[in-house]
Amino acid sequence: MRKSFIAIIGLISILKFTAIQAQGVSWYKSYFGTIGTYPVILHLHKMGNTVNGYYYYQSRMQPLYIIGDDTSAGKNGIQLFSGINTSHEVFTLNLSGKKVSGTWKKDPENKAGLPVTLSEKTGNPQFDMIYTTGSLELRPGMEESPAATYSAAAVWPKDNSLTANLIKRVVNEEFGSKNSTNDIGKVFLEEKKQFFADYMEENKDFKDSLLKEFTYSYNMDQTQWINIAFHSAKILTLADMFYSYTGGAHGNYYTNYISLDLVNNKKLKLSDVLNAAGIKKLNPLLGKYFRKDRGLSLMDDLSEGGLYENKIEPNENFFVTTKGIGFSYAPYEIAPYTAGEIVVFIPFTELNAYLQPKFKELIR
């Protein structure tokens, strides 16, 4: 799977300078139903006019990222795009109470599509979506002044159970506040305040003439969203998407995944999922499924799919579902920036003999 966070940032609409939790402005919802005859689950997160999330077919359980807005498809409508590899899937959905209906197309140019029928699903724990965003001009009196923009969002459990507090600590840690269950909205506001203060301090001595000539280079952007990528009764996978622009030709981005054991209330390490023999099996399997995703033959060099080398090694940025394990690689990590963020998903049918006994209990 590959996606462009540059495109993601481009879909964010007019920024507001408040912390938001109101229904209709920001929310998280989970749905189950069908695309055509195929059973699916959809996790949606709304932040202002931006809507994003993950969906997966129940037969495979591989999270697929989607993003769009609620302004392109009419009242109560949402349009979402996937941009996976060479396909450009598009959802046009209508939300009515706890029901969703609409169409899915493999490509926006296709006239025919499949019907989408979904119903809202209430899981445990339940979540709010906490969101803040804002912008600040460097020279308010200057026409087309450089500016700093900040956006932060995260799912946030509604209760204070042991599992909910584990999730709160993980979310806080991703935003730099360790061992804390403090209200994440307050963390956002403090971070935003510091981000703008740093921006003004770092650029206060530059002359207006220089800023006018190189306006874009003096913009600064930071976006961090924590969404739900997968959720079962025993496993929760969070996706922490981060984008930053601090000058230069382009910004940098990555997604950090965290999978949680909701039975034993802990983060999952790779050694919790696979034994030593299974971890050794990952290299050839990563190559196999990367080739499959890119339409390469088993004999093709991985560099023909855009990688630096003819190998892919597992990293610490992995996630699990009940049917597989995925590894995510940031731009420049194993391929050039233009290759985008690369995710390789391996079904557990390839690794069943190497799964740790306690982990097997989580996916049954």
β-sheet with 127-137: strand ranges across: 19-20, 127-137, 147-157, 220-231, 235-245, 252-261, 266-267
pLDDT tens digits for range 188-245 = 999 999 999 999 999 999 999 999 888 889 999 999 999 999 999 999 999 999 999 9
Beta-carbon count within 10 A of 161 CB: 13
296-to-196, 207, 304, 326 alpha-carbon distances in Å: 46, 53, 8, 19
**Distance between CA atoms of residues 67 and 9, nearest Å:** 10
CATH topology of domain 270-362: Actin; Chain A, domain 4 (3.90.640)
Q: Quick check: 180 and 169 in contact, CB under 8 A? A: yes
Q: What is the CATH number of domain 24-121?
A: 2.40.128
**Distance between CA atoms of residues 200 and 359, nearest Å:** 49
Residues ≥6 apart with Cβ < 8 Å to 193: none
Query: Which strand (E) or helix (H) includes residue 91?
Result: strand 90-96
Ranges of the chain whose pLDDT falls below 50: 1-24, 85-86
Tell me what pLDDT residue 11 has.
39
**Distance between CA atoms of residues 115 and 113, nearest Å:** 7
Whole-prediction pTM? 0.91
Q: Where are the domains of the chain?
A: 24-121, 127-267, 270-362
Q: What is the CATH number of domain 127-267?
A: 3.30.565.40
198-to-27, 185, 192 alpha-carbon distances in Å: 30, 20, 10
